[in-house]
Structure 1
Amino acid sequence: MTRGPGTAKRRASARRGRRAETLVAVWLSLQGWHVLDRRARTGAGEIDLVARRGRVLAFIEVKTRRTTEEARLALSPRQRGRLLRAAGLWRARHRHYDALQPRFDLVLAVPWRLPVHLPGAFEAEGRDALTLL
């Protein structure tokens, strides 16, 4: 079976994404976050990182692009909806975190730069801080 040229690109992109998620997890740990889950699979999709600091439970989407602006724009409304649904399923399986305040963060990963963490980038109620950046 012959694979198309898009397959190699997809694999390379997935590798870059996994590498960025690992680097962001380490970076967040150095910032005082406790990473609870990585690449958490739920029936609604995958959550890149789930981390806790204090009373905050952050569901974190990591976007890797050539520029910060490209990374910021890479999170579509459809992906936000998927992350919201996935977070609900994750919380249903991890009831011992119910007392924590959920938050949806975005971390922008650009080569050769420190990650940019956007806490509360969007909310379940539909208010979208990404448009305010």
Structure 2
Amino acid sequence: MDFKFAHNNINVLDLDKSLRFYKEALGLVEVKRHVPEDGSFILVYLGDGRTPHMLELTWLRDRTEPYNLGENEFHIAFETENFDEAYKKHKEMGCICYENQDMGIYFINDPDNYWVEILPAGHM
């Protein structure tokens, strides 16, 4: 058997707010969308335009409370060639939630408080 990554999923409370955040903060754009006839949920797949990996946002019509993320010990990560510029943008957006200067990385949080790690290119 041979497996490859397809996408990661997170559930969001306000789909439009999340779409705006991921576009502004990370340049992610909608690649595809699935809406069932009954409208009970919406799946939106976001892509970076360079890799096949996608972030799936799931919106549930009947969900009204914020998601309980527990200790929020999981995250997704993005690397960028323009680390200093990204840092400045995220600082201006007010979404930096944690910095680790010793490791040369920082984290931003999205509207649902999911953490996103920002790495300089080649950091891995």
TM-score range, shorter chain: 0.3 to 0.5
Please give the TM-score of this superposition, normalised by the length of structure 1: 0.31
More helix, by proportion: 1
- Decide which structure has greater strand share: 2
TM-score by length of 2: 0.33
